[in-house]
Amino acid sequence: MRLFRLCVATAPLLLAACGSKSGGAASLAYYETYDPRSLDPALSTDVPTGEMVSYVFDGLTAFDVNGKLLPGLADRWTIERSGQRYVFHLRPGVRFHNSRPFKAEDVRATFLRVLDPASTGGRAWPLYPIAGAQAYAARQATDVRGIQVLGDTAVAFDLTEPLAIFPKFLAMPVVSIVPSPAPADLAAHPIGTGPWRFVAWQHDDYLLFAKNPDYWGGAPLADTLSVRIIPEPLTQAAELEAGHLSAVEVPFGEGARWRAQRPAWLQGKPALRVMYVALNNQRGPLTDLRVRQAINHAVNVPEILRTVWDGRGVVARGAIPPLLPGADTARAGFGFDPAKARQLLAAAGYPDGFAVQLWRSSSNIVLGRVAQAVQADLEKVGIRVELVERDASSQRQAARSGKADMALLDWWADYPDADNFLFPLFHSGNFGPGGNYAFYRDPITDSLILRARRTADDGARTALYRQIDERVYRAAPWLYLWFPVDLWAKHPKVEGWEFPVISNGQRWTGVRRLP
């Protein structure tokens, strides 16, 4: 029925795909938990939007499923003036889905559009390293002086200071290249250069894409890709079991059953994500290093990970996920040691503990259980935790404004680099909405982070990341929990699909469904 309806909705485009016997076999089906905000790249601040944008559009660079940086619309780039100037050479012969050729001017117009406050995207920061970008975003300039269009085939960026990871910023969905001038209805009828052409979007129901046979990177193997909007995890799993979806994340609580019944369907993969409790370093007893260390000793993290989190993770001894260069998996952790926690509390002047609030979002039931487990462990060393349960928006506002003593949070990578787990989370310039919810401030950490950003040499930068992570870890600005390992199930008839560590790293071009 569904296929029938899709055929009716998209008859002119997909007659061949649905009419022939290959219809079912040639189509892929994925899902999102909620409707994308838009299909306009400039508005891609949420995961569903970012993923849909990555199907229809290309960036100058791209990520693969393992987070490796690949060339995109730029087939190569050169770094000049010791990392302060980048020249991107554009792939020749690329056309938008409406057959218009892609040119360097499109890059400039796209970036100006993202920076323009009128586009109300809210995520222009990947372009802020470009000289003059912030002034343009603040409407203090009519152009961005750091962007230079070099004929039709190259574009150069002058940065305010050297930034080795700048090419990774350009793989983010928000800076995907749109045709210039941008069509007025781009958000509803996107036209890009990407592997999939947009076909239809029924809000809160499904999106449909058809393969771009002329894709510069090779046409997708499947004819169509549909994306269902399914909020309930158990329903997502049922759709996979009924054969209607290509892959789903295995719901919490279902892990044991799936491991027993369908082990061959499962894929476990470490995510670029860290779970933690931000301890507000500027509030009450938490200002004391010994108290924060005591909290890290008092909570039995491996036990909570195993029992509450279905064992899907690796205990965090630092903020950099193990997949990324700079992570130190051999670091000596605080370790579960309630006696030591009590000693540290006594030394800090709290032999009888103290009362504190832990904020957590009510939108995730598993996180609620984590919060309860943390509460129970802290209670045993005398720290009386009051759980404050609010919806995600209220919790976020409290944490960002510094009103929460402790907040149970997680952090996903925007780009696969250790910098993404250090600069936003621990640089004092990023207090609150910038990502530093612990309000951790250390001038040496600040300067090391900035130095790492300016360091062009990968080896030297990785060493700096490791040093920063170690330094921050010893200051215990968080209660460090774990790096989740995501558990996904792939339908056995689907071939070539792998779960991406970064959400726009899986573009479904090499995936097919066996008949």
Partner 1 sequence: MIRTLGRRLLLTVPTLFGVLVVAFLLLNVVPGDPVLEMVGERADSATIARLRAELHLDDPLPAQFGHYVWGVVRGDLGRSYITRRPIARDLAERFPKTVQLALAAMTFAAVTGITLGVLAAVRPGGAFDRIALLLSYLGVSFPVYWVGLLLILLFAVTLRWLPPSGSGGPTFLVLPAATLGMRSVAFLARMTRGAMQDVLSSDFIRTARAKGLPELAVVGKHAFRNALIPVITVLGLDVGNYLTGSLLTETIFAWPGVGRYVLSAIAKRDLPAIQGSILFLSVVFVVVNLLTDLVYAQADPRIAYD
Q: Which of 240-248, 285-293, 328-336, 494-502 is the region at the interface with partner 1 (rule: CB under 8 A)?
A: 240-248
Does 35 participate in binding partner 1 (rule CB under 8 A)?
yes
Would you say 450 and 279 are in contact if contact means Cβ atoms under 8 Å apart?
no
Q: Which residue has the tokens 């931000």?
A: 278
Q: Which of 19-27, 269-277, 371-379, 384-392 is the region at the interface with partner 1 (rule: CB under 8 A)?
A: 384-392
Minimum separation from the CB atom of position 147 to partner 1 (A): 19
Does 95 participate in binding partner 1 (rule CB under 8 A)?
no
Find the binding residues for partner 1 in span 312-371 (CB under 8 A).
Answer: 363
Q: Which of 81-89, 314-322, 329-337, 409-417 is the region at the interface with partner 1 (rule: CB under 8 A)?
A: 409-417
Residue closer to partner 1 by CB (options 302, 434) is 434
Q: Which residue has the tokens 């894929």?
A: 267
Note every long-range contact of 69-75, with CB atoms under 8 Å and residues 24 or more positions apart, other chains counting.
69/167, 69/168, 69/171, 69/416, 70/171, 72/170, 72/171, 73/102, 73/107, 73/177, 73/193, 74/170
* Binds partner 1 by CB under 8 A, chosen from 347, 393, 457, 492: 393
* Binds partner 1 by CB under 8 A, chosen from 184, 242, 264, 332: 242
Task: State the amino acid at position 202 in one-letter form.
Answer: Q
Instruction: Centre a 10 Å sphere on the Cβ of residue 459 and count the other Cβ atoms it contains.
Output: 9
Minimum separation from the CB atom of position 4 to partner 1 (A): 7
Would you say 95 and 170 are in contact if contact means Cβ atoms under 8 Å apart?
no
User: In 3D, which of 318, 349, 324 has the Cα closest to residue 271?
Assistant: 324
Q: Which of 164-172, 199-207, 455-463, 468-476 is the region at the interface with partner 1 (rule: CB under 8 A)?
A: 199-207
Return the half-sphere exposure (C-beta side, CA atoms, 13 A cut-off) of residue 400. Answer: 11
* Binds partner 1 by CB under 8 A, chosen from 129, 424, 477, 484: 424
- Measured CA to CA in angstroms, residue 428 lies from 423, 447, 463 at distances of 9, 10, 21
Tokens of 321: 């996920």
> Which run of H or of E encompasses 1?
none
- The rounded distance, in Å, linking the Cα atoms of 116 and 121 is 9
Would you say 295 and 279 are in contact if contact means Cβ atoms under 8 Å apart?
yes
User: In 3D, which of 188, 175, 170 has the Cα closest to residue 37?
Assistant: 188
- How many residues belong to the site for partner 1 (CB under 8 A)? 59
Minimum separation from the CB atom of position 91 to partner 1 (A): 29
Binding mask 426-455 for partner 1 (x = CB under 8 A): ----x-xxxx--------------------
Minimum separation from the CB atom of position 341 to partner 1 (A): 30
Burial of 247 (0-12, 13-18, 19+ CB in 10 A): buried
* Binds partner 1 by CB under 8 A, chosen from 397, 450, 463, 475: 397
Tokens of 269: 């993969």
Minimum separation from the CB atom of position 75 to partner 1 (A): 30
Would you say 256 and 231 are in contact if contact means Cβ atoms under 8 Å apart?
no
Residue closer to partner 1 by CB (options 391, 470) is 391
Minimum separation from the CB atom of position 128 to partner 1 (A): 8
Return the half-sphere exposure (C-beta side, CA atoms, 13 A cut-off) of residue 435. Answer: 18
Helix and strand numbers, DSSP H then E, in the chain = 16, 20
Tokens of 372: 């309860």
Task: State the amino acid at position 127 in one-letter form.
Answer: L
Residue closer to partner 1 by CB (options 230, 279) is 230
Minimum separation from the CB atom of position 486 to partner 1 (A): 18
Find the binding residues for partner 1 in span 99-158 (CB under 8 A).
Answer: 117-118, 120, 122-125, 134, 137-138
Note the maximum CA span of the chain: 76
Minimum separation from the CB atom of position 95 to partner 1 (A): 28
Task: State the amino acid at position 351 in one-letter form.
Answer: P
Q: Which of 162-170, 390-398, 445-453, 477-485 is the region at the interface with partner 1 (rule: CB under 8 A)?
A: 390-398
- The rounded distance, in Å, linking the Cα atoms of 295 and 289 is 10
* Binds partner 1 by CB under 8 A, chosen from 159, 178, 227, 230: 230
Residue closer to partner 1 by CB (options 204, 352) is 204
Dihedral sign of CA atoms 20, 21, 26, 30 in order: positive
Minimum separation from the CB atom of position 374 to partner 1 (A): 21
Does 411 participate in binding partner 1 (rule CB under 8 A)?
yes
* Coil/strand/helix, residue 151: coil
Q: Which of 72-80, 97-105, 299-307, 388-396 is the region at the interface with partner 1 (rule: CB under 8 A)?
A: 388-396
Which residues bind to partner 1, rule: CB under 8 A? 1-2, 4-5, 34-35, 37-38, 43, 45-46, 117-118, 120, 122-125, 134, 137-138, 187-188, 202-206, 228-232, 234-235, 238-239, 241-242, 244, 363, 390-394, 396-398, 400, 411-412, 414, 424, 430, 432-435
